[in-house]
Structures are given as C-alpha cells and as structure tokens.
Copies of this chain bind each other. A is one copy, B any other.
C-alpha cells in the first residue's frame, strides 16, 4: 500500500515496516498497534526522509519514552560539543532528541543530526524562524512561518512543536487571568509578542490546514505545544493552561481527519497533588492523544537540582499515563547544559520513565526482580551488568573496597543479605537433615 502517514496506513489496516519494528521492541501485537495508531492513541514519529531512524512508538500500553534537548545557540555555538551530547544520548538509549538550535548554522547541525540519529528528531521551527527567514520577528509574515516548518519537514524532522493553541481567544483569557510566571514557553512568548505587535491571529492557528498538509506530506508528527504551561507551581492548572488545552483537543481532531499524527505537550511546574488531574484532563480533552510532559517540576525552589524535581513529577505523571518525558538537567533555569548535565538529566529521566512504567506495564518490574535477585546473591558483577548506569556503581564500589569481599563498606560484616543467606542455609540444611533421618 502507498500511504502518506502511519495513521493513514493504520486506518486502512495496513501494517507498515515501522509498526513491525515497534511491535517487536514493545512485545505487543501489530494488531494492537494498528488499532491504537488509527485511534490516535499511539504515534510513531518517523519522517519519510529520516533514513537512519530506528522507529519508536509513543502512547497507550507502550514503554514511557524520553527526549533529550540539544542544539546550538548564540551563547554556546560549538557543533562538535553538541554532537558529543548526541552520541551520549544515543548510547544511553534516549528515544528522542529535540534540536532546539536557534542561532547560526542550524541547518548544518540539523543535517548532521538527522544523518546520524537512530533516535527520532524533533524541532521547534519557531526558534529557527528569525534565522531561517533572516528578518526581525515582527516583520515575518504569517504564511512565512510555514516555510520554516516545510524546510524542517524536508530535512527529515520526525516531529515539530507547534504552538497553535495560543490563539487570540486564549491570549485574551491569559490577559484576564493574572499569573506569576506569565508565558514561560519560548515559542509561545514569541508568538504572543508577534500577535500583539501585529494585531493578528496566531499564524499556526490561522493556517492550520496548510500546516497539516506539510505534516501529512512527510509524515511529520505534530507535537502541539503548551504555550501557557505553568512556569511555577502556584500557576498550575489555571484558566490559561486549561483553555489552551481545550483548543489543543480541537486541533487534535482536525489533524486526525487529515491522518496527521499528534502528541500533546504538557506542563511544566505542577504540585504533586495536581499531577494526576493534569494527566486525566489531557487524556479527556485531547481524546487520548499521547501526552508529552516537560517535567513536571514539583517545586520551584531547587535550581541546580531540577533533574530531581522533574524526576519526581515525571515518574508520577508516567505512572498515571503520561507517555513521553522531556528530560530536565541540573542546568535548568541556569544555563545551557554541558555534557555532564546532559548525562545526569538522561539518567534521572530514565529513572522516572521506568518507575512510572512499573505502575502501568505488566512486565516492567521484571528488570527490578532480576536486580533484586542479584543483590540478594551478592553478585556484584551481575548487578552492574543490568544497572541503568553500568559505570557509576562500579566506580563507587571500586573506590571503597570492603575488608570482606562479598559485602560492601555500607554494612561490612553486618551485611543483611549475607547474614540471611547463611541463616536460611543452616535452617534448610537442618530441615534436610531431619527429613533424611526421619
């Protein structure tokens, strides 16, 4: 069958190569994928021009995926360093990389990235608009924004963040409902500025059908951005955020009519007590489209440790049904992350994804079971082999060798695993002896 998008194929009951690969990876049936992709509950972001990709599915019943943000900017403009981060992200099993480049040779970096990356690639065309069109933001004409999207689509980008939900009506709601952190989405704030300065409708909202044509042509998945996500926990779940989410739900249906795959982006900064409601709201208002959360950070007071504040929120969100986590690094709110920050961010995000999966996928905890068995057996080599990070635990143990080799310096001779193994062995030996001599 000739098909434009995975969704079109699924609706026609046609199993694509990408679906076969995803079914194999996730240990689900192709029939399951067909049903869920047709319904919009699962997406496989895979641009027809991204040849190096190893496709991944995102959505109901699949493992929670993670995204790594990278890219060059005016203040950090070193292509090789960014490619080093790319390699690390791939090595550590990130399923997605977003190229947020917004300065200089964005095309060159994007090209290298797409040529190399087995992970899916996302971009925010809005960030690249000024550079690509080579004119000041307010002078860009509405339809010109689509030229940037088309260029990224041709390049092979698998999904694009589009802030189509912050239309005039929602901007008015925002202006009537004061919040502490106004619009913290970069793309959203730029579009809000453009709309206000030019007194026009949001170009992505106004020309949404044209946008869908581009996405359909290359099978670019739409990641509908949440311009009005809360930027502080006291702004969470407010009128602006939910009004935009309602609009994103409407836009989702329109995309599905054209067989364009859709994800919905979500907060942000959310107190623990609001996270489940945020997931439920997205699933309801956006018709079960996959939910891609940017955190959520559960407190605002810990700059330098937002990989932890977001691991807490991400794990809870994933456990309630969020499908895709955007990593957050220790550098969040402070600077562009360096290579170490990227590493810390990936690990924290993968912990959150897996902790959430334990709650929603039947077999996710088998990994933990295997680790627990090796831990009880004091099989140190075996533990390191299956650890999320294989290097750090080994380094830690090597730095502090215990007197008694099978233990560690935490408990030494009081090692409870060893004590229990010895006692239960003795009890079992006695029982064996009693039953043999009875």
Contacts and interface: CB of A to CB of B under 8 A. Distances in A.
B410 A232 contact: no
Contact of A351 (B184, B189, B271, B308): B308
Given A351-B308, A375-B333, A410-B334, A299 B180 contact: no
A38 interface: no
Nearest to A126: B414
A181 interface: yes
Interface in A345-360: 347-348, 351-352, 354-356, 358-359
A60 interface: no
Interface string A310-353: 01100110010000000000111111100000000001100110
Contacts of A373: 180
A109 interface: no
Contact of A298 (B232, B234, B355): B355
A331 B235 CA distance: 36
Contacts of A388: 301-302, 305
B372 A189 contact: no
Interface string A369-395: 101110110000001101111001100
Contacts of A410: 331-336
B315 A298 contact: yes
A396 interface: yes
Nearest to A233: B368
A319 to B, nearest CB: 4
A356 B312 CA distance: 10
Given A355-B309, A386-B301, A409 B336 contact: yes
Contacts of A369: 180, 232, 234
A1 interface: no
Interface majority SS on A: helix, strand, loop or mixed? helix
Interface string A46-68: 00000000000000000000000
Interface residues of A, number: 103
Given A355-B299, A400-B75, A410-B332, A376 B315 contact: no
Contacts of A189: 416, 419-420, 423
A184 B369 CA distance: 15
Interface stretch (A22-30, A142-150, A190-198): A190-198
A78 B182 CA distance: 52
A141 interface: no
A73 interface: yes
Contact of A335 (B383, B399, B427): B399
A403 interface: yes
Contacts of A348: 305, 308
B232 A372 contact: yes
Interface in A171-185: 175, 180-185
A319 B273 contact: yes
Nearest to A184: B416
A94 B188 CA distance: 40
A303 interface: yes
Contacts of A415: 186
A312 B409 contact: no
Nearest to A409: B75
A75 B402 contact: yes
Nearest to A408: B335
A272 interface: yes
A340 to B, nearest CB: 11
Contacts of A331: 396, 410
Contacts of A197: 423
Contact of A305 (B183, B188, B351, B408): B351
6 contacts: A183-B416, A232-B372, A271-B358, A334-B396, A334-B408, A335-B397
